[in-house]
Structure 1
Amino acid sequence: MARKKIGLIGAGNIGGELANLLLAKQLGDVVLFDIPAKESFAKGKALDLEQSSACSGADAKVTGTANWEDLAGSDVLIVTAGIPRKPGQSRDDLVGVNLPIIQNVADNAKKHCPDAFVIVISNPLDAMVYEFKRRTGAPREKVVGMAGVLDSA
């Protein structure tokens, strides 16, 4: 059986920690994606994780990239992309900031990994999941949201 390919959109704190957990559990090969301005950050984080696998015994591949084509064929896509809420900013304010980001992610996901099961973690979660599903036209059972205490992460 081929190993699963898991794409992480957003190489920040949440994306990086998820990559670490996915590798530790050996759930599949991980592609850690971020915007071109942060490509070196995604590549550096991927390199750190790959080198730490010598100690952890993880046998999965991790790649850092800013190239959407590298996500082609992903079985799972986890979206953490977005700007965190700032002090005094309402969740409604955050919609205007993160909506264009999620729209870009949705458009590229539809183009490069249309069959992936998608987990959206970006805030405000309900609006971001709805927009991702609406924009991609994916069936409702293929796009879910994962909430928690992200505003404190």
Structure 2
Amino acid sequence: MVKVAVLGAAGGIGQPLSLLLKTNPSVTGLGLYDIVNTPGVAADLSHIATPAKVEGYLQPNGGLAKALTGAEVVIIPAGVPRKPGMTRDDLFKINAGIVRGLAEGVADTCPKAFVLVISNPVNSTVPIVAEVLKAKGHYDPKRLFGVTTLDVVRASTFVAELLKDPSAASSVVVPVVGGHSGVTIVPLLSQSSHPLPSGVDLDALVHRIQFGGDEVVKAKDGAGSATLSMAYAGYEFACKVIKAINGEKGIVAPSYVSLAADSAGGEALANELGTSLEFFSARVELDAQGVAKIHTLGNINESEKKLVAAAIPELKTNITTGHDFIQKPSL
């Protein structure tokens, strides 16, 4: 039985994510926080007949601390959505400050919680949370996760569409590694659970997976970004974390984590990458303490090796951007 806090619960991701969490029988407490509308969201959800007790808080009167009190899992989707023509890096200037403040609340109120970061750009916001927790003396790399599950959801969905088999939609799994923006998203199509049909334009498929979010932004015509699919993906990953907390074994999920979370696995992955990186999205085995094992890339083909090589410089820049926001605020 787990209490989950959702920070940014009244937003486009936060509301459907909170709804999904309310339906999970393992969630017994749901602490919702946002700067507007949270009490209304909580009241609405509280009418659903499931075990979770829902409480919604606003910023005044210590609302953030109240939402976080007793939380074992904290999910952070807070921030502004991406608009047409806006890259994930453009979001950084706005969302970095939001994430920093929320991370300070986590450090002060529930420092041992599992922290799941959805706020974009994830490649930079996760290092921000890490730096805040370090400064507060509460950093445990095993318990900090960047949620990259949407990339796996998209890759798996797009491959299932190519198979033209409706029954495959819920069973196709395509591993995705690297990061959570553009060229840092590396789908390992050679490791797909279902072989791709012949004649597929692999370059076009990789590009669609890497920039799938642009499809949604364009389709919403300035009215938002990928909120519903992100809420679904965030819930999928949160469920895996909750199961691990409750003692289930053998759970492996993709996530953007510190390679220090598993020194042996992280070192093996770094050797495979041919460079040192503080954070990388890899397949991670979960247990009740968080990251139990970081898996290496395994057998990848030459095209995928090139994609990984192209992702590394961008990842290094993104990680440095996050660090500098905390360590060198004058920049």
Interval containing the TM-score (normalised by the shorter chain): 0.7 to 0.9
Determine whether 1:42 maps to 2:38.
yes
Pick the aligned partner of 1:75 from 50, 72, 90: 72
Alignment correspondent of 2:144: 143
Indicate the residue corresponding to 2:103 in structure 1: 106
Tell me the alpha carbon deviations over residues 121-146 of structure 1, each in whole angstroms, 9 at most, x when there is no partner.
Answer: 01111111111112112221111011
Determine which structure has greater relative contact order: mean sequence separation of CA pairs < 8 Å that are 6+ residues apart, divided by chain length.
1
Q: Aligned partner of 1:152: which letter?
A: A
The equivalent of 1:125 in structure 2 is 122
* Structure 1 Cα separation of the partners of residues 128 and 31 of structure 2: 23
State the SS of the aligned residue for 1:104. helix
Residue 50 of structure 1 aligns with an amino acid whose one-letter code is S
| SS in structure 2 at match of 1:44 | helix
Aligned Cα root-mean-square deviation (Å): 1.4
Q: Deviations over 1:57-76 (max 9, x none)?
A: 31210111020221122101
Distance of 1:68 and 1:121 partners within structure 2: 18
Which amino acid letter does the alignment assign opposite residue 31 of structure 1?
G
Task: Give 1:12-91 correspondences, 5 Å limit.
Answer: 12-28=11-27, 29-35=29-35, 38=36, 41-51=37-47, 53=48, 57-66=49-58, 67-70=63-66, 71-91=68-88
SS at match of 1:86: coil
Q: CA deviation at 1:25?
A: 1.3
Percent identity over paired residues: 35
Deviation at 1:21, TM superposition (A): 1.1
For residues 72 and 146 of structure 2, the distance between their equivalents in structure 1, rounded to whole angstroms, comes to 16
Q: TM-score, normalised by structure 2?
A: 0.42
- Match of 2:131, SS state, is helix
Give the Cα–Cα distance (whole angstroms) in 1 for the partners of residues 110 and 94 of structure 2: 24
CA distance in structure 2 between the partners assigned to 1:94 and 1:143 by the alignment: 21
Name the aligned partner's letter for residue 32 of structure 1.
Answer: L
- Which residue of the partner structure matches residue 6 of structure 1? 4
Deviation (angstroms), 1:27: 2.5
Q: SS of the counterpart of 2:70?
A: coil
Structure 2: segments with no counterpart, 5+ residues: 151-211, 214-224, 228-331
Per-residue CA deviations over 1:60-99 (Å, capped at 9, x if unaligned) read: 1011102022112210100011111111112221111111
Q: In the aligned structure 2, how far is the partner of 1:5 from the partner of 1:25?
A: 11
Which structure is larger by alpha-carbon Rg, 1 or 2? 2
Displacement, 1:26?
2.0
Q: What amino acid is aligned across from residue 127 of structure 1 in structure 2? A: S
Match of 2:306 in 1: none
8 Å Cα contact 2:65/2:105 also seen in 1: no
Q: Give the residue type in structure 1 aligned to 2:33.
A: F
Q: Taking structure 1 as the reference length, what is the TM-score of the superposition?
A: 0.87
- The alpha-carbon deviation at position 13 of structure 1 amounts to 2.0
Runs of 5+ unmatched residues, structure 1: none
Change (3 A) 1:48 1:21: same
Letter in 2 for 1:114: P
Tell me the amino acid that sits aligned with residue 4 of structure 2.
I
Amino acid at match of 2:140: P
Instruction: Indicate the SS of the match to 1:8.
Output: strand
List 4+ stretches of structure 1 deviating above 3 A.
none
